[in-house]
């Protein structure tokens, strides 16, 4: 639902002039309040309205952003709507793959808005709507959206939900009755015209200046579209195919053994326990629990760092995500950083210890229940938690821009051993 400004206004730190497209849904409660108080006035753009000299465009490729040079100087962020001068739009589409005109007929919920109540959205939709949901990055974040997707599906007697995400995550959405189609993000444009509702969760939860994002992430996705979640609605496990289950059993013969799983790295350095410290940690775990072997999980090979340790089974880079979940179910315990695979293990009700860096436990993991514990260094540095909004208060998170790791590099491995003892009591 796009509008044209009848007055000059500044919204979300962007200036809009009279006649400019305002690509913000009327469902945004902040915008409605401004309109209701007479501060702004808008009108719905008619199909034959040619007053604007800009097109709305969206990049849906494999990279985080796409640099374009056809009359422009800058990057198109994946999954975000960009205003592009009409004279440049055709050249951009011609020369670049996966960049599309963002022209939709239905209601659009952009990432940075605040919807007061989902009922406001629902009343704009047909009885059996087609709903396109987009979330690109973050394996864990895709998993954390699933309880909300299920809630959306339950709001209608019948609806068609199409979930567009990165191609490597599509298989994880299979087997969910509330998702009728799971597609690669680059195919989402095929539904721009037909979808009655487009929910854009690409970067919807990363802006910590928005208050809904400073809390549990499942609830953050829900609050974005005006839904609330009950405690028993907060967890949805990822689908694991029968083929993955069989392959997992063949991959490691640990049915009768005792194992502790260990996830090696997070997506970002400042959320990973330093690899150089894992050798000592593994040695201490083995001394304490000599009957257990340690299974190493990671999406990349660890280059044989522990090949001379007979109590370490290095499966890094050798399993699919689904296979890793099944193997982890055979472990007495899994230890991991704040990363996507850790979330998938937690959602599968696997006993897990999370090595937290800069994010409070209750904002990511407390909804999983008593099977999930944590070790952290909260309080070690005044930049913890390192949300972007703290820049306004003179606190800058250095770790995300360097390889420094304030949180976990100083984490005493004795804390980890003590937490393992707590689990095995």
Coil, helix or strand for 296? strand
Q: For residue 389, what pLDDT is reported?
A: 44
- pTM comes to 0.84
Would residue 38 be called left, alpha or beta, if left means φ above 0 and alpha means ψ between -120 and 50 degrees? left
pLDDT single digits (tens) 211-247: 898 889 999 999 999 999 999 999 999 888 888 888 8
Order the strands of the 160-165 sheet from edge to edge: 107-109, 197-200, 130-134, 160-165, 181-184
Q: For residue 13, what pLDDT is reported?
A: 58
* Residue with the larger pLDDT of the pair 395 and 310: 310
Q: With a cut of 60, say whether residue 24 has pLDDT above it.
A: no
pLDDT single digits (tens) 126-173: 999 999 999 998 999 999 999 999 999 999 999 999 999 999 999 889
Percentage of residues of the chain with pLDDT beyond 90: 52
Q: Report the C-alpha gap between 46 and 49 in whole angstroms.
A: 5
Range 16-54 burial, b when 16+ CB lie within 10 A, else e: beeebbbbbbbbbeebeebeeeeebebeeeeeeeeeeeb
pLDDT single digits (tens) 179-192: 999 999 999 999 99
Q: What does the pLDDT average to over 95-103?
A: 91
Contact 109, 224 (CB under 8 A): yes
Average per-residue pLDDT for the chain = 84
Q: For residue 27, what pLDDT is reported?
A: 54
Q: For residue 11, what pLDDT is reported?
A: 61
Confidence of residue 38 (pLDDT cuts 50, 70, 90): low
Q: For residue 191, what pLDDT is reported?
A: 97
Q: With a cut of 70, say whether residue 254 has pLDDT above it.
A: no
Q: What does the pLDDT average to over 414-418?
A: 95
Q: What does the pLDDT average to over 356-381?
A: 85
Q: With a cut of 60, say whether residue 289 has pLDDT above it.
A: yes
Q: With a cut of 80, say whether residue 72 has pLDDT above it.
A: no
Highest mean pLDDT (candidates 4-8, 40-44, 125-129, 203-207): 125-129
Q: Report the C-alpha gap between 380 and 359 in whole angstroms.
A: 13
Confidence of residue 47 (pLDDT cuts 50, 70, 90): very low
Q: For residue 200, what pLDDT is reported?
A: 97
Name the pairing type of β-strands 21-22 and 3-5: antiparallel
Q: For residue 167, what pLDDT is reported?
A: 94
Q: With a cut of 80, say whether residue 281 has pLDDT above it.
A: yes
Q: Report the C-alpha gap between 157 and 288 in whole angstroms.
A: 55
Q: For residue 390, what pLDDT is reported?
A: 47
Q: Which domains does the chain have, with CATH numbers?
A: 104-239 (3.40.50), 242-424 (3.40.50.2000)
Q: With a cut of 50, say whether residue 393 has pLDDT above it.
A: no
DSSP for 256-271 reads: SSEEEEEE---SSGGG
Confidence of residue 257 (pLDDT cuts 50, 70, 90): confident
Pick from 211-220, 269-278, 287-296: least confident: 269-278
Confidence of residue 255 (pLDDT cuts 50, 70, 90): low
* Residue with the larger pLDDT of the pair 208 and 334: 334
Whether residue 385 is preceded by a cis peptide bond, meaning omega within 30 degrees of 0, is: yes
């Amino acid at each position: 639902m796009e509008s044209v400004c009848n007055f000059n206004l500044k919204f979300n730190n962007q200036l809009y002039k009279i006649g400019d497209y305002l690509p913000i849904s009327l469902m945004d409660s902040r915008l409605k309040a401004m309109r209701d108080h007479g501060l702004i006035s808008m009108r719905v753009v008619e199909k034959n309205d040619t007053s604007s000299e800009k097109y709305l465009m969206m990049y849906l490729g494999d990279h985080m952003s796409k640099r374009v040079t056809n009359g422009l100087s800058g990057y198109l962020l994946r999954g975000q709507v960009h205003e592009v001068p009409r004279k440049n739009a055709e050249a951009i589409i011609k020369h670049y793959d996966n960049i599309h005109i963002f022209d939709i007929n239905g209601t659009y919920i952009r990432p940075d808005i605040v919807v007061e109540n989902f009922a406001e959205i629902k009343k704009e939709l047909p009885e059996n709507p087609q709903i396109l949901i987009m979330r690109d990055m973050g394996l864990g974040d895709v998993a954390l959206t699933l309880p909300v997707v299920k809630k959306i599906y339950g709001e209608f007697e019948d609806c068609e939900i199409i979930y567009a995400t990165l191609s490597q995550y599509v298989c994880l959405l299979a087997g969910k009755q509330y998702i009728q189609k799971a597609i690669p993000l680059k195919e989402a444009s095929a539904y721009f015209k037909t979808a009655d509702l487009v929910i854009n969760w690409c970067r919807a939860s990363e802006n910590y200046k928005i208050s809904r994002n400073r809390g549990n992430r499942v609830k953050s996705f829900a609050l974005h579209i005006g839904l609330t979640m009950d405690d028993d609605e907060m967890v949805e496990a990822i689908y694991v195919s029968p083929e993955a289950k069989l392959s997992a059993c063949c991959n490691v013969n640990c049915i009768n053994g005792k194992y502790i799983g260990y996830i090696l790295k997070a997506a970002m350095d400042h959320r990973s326990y330093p690899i150089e410290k894992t050798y000592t940690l593994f040695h201490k775990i083995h001394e304490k629990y000599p009957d257990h072997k340690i299974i190493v999980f990671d999406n990349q090979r660890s280059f044989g760092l522990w090949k001379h340790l007979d109590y370490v089974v290095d499966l890094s880079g050798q399993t699919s995500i689904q296979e890793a979940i099944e193997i982890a179910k055979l472990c007495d315990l899994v230890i991991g950083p704040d990363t996507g695979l850790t979330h998938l293990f937690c959602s599968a009700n696997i006993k897990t210890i999370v090595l937290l860096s800069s994010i409070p436990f209750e904002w990511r993991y407390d909804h999983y229940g008593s099977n999930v514990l944590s070790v952290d260094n909260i309080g070690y540095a005044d930049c913890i938690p390192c949300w972007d909004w703290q820049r306004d208060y003179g606190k800058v998170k250095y770790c995300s821009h360097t390889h420094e790791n304030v949180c976990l590099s100083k984490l005493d491995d004795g804390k980890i051993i003590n937490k393992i003892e707590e689990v095995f009591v």
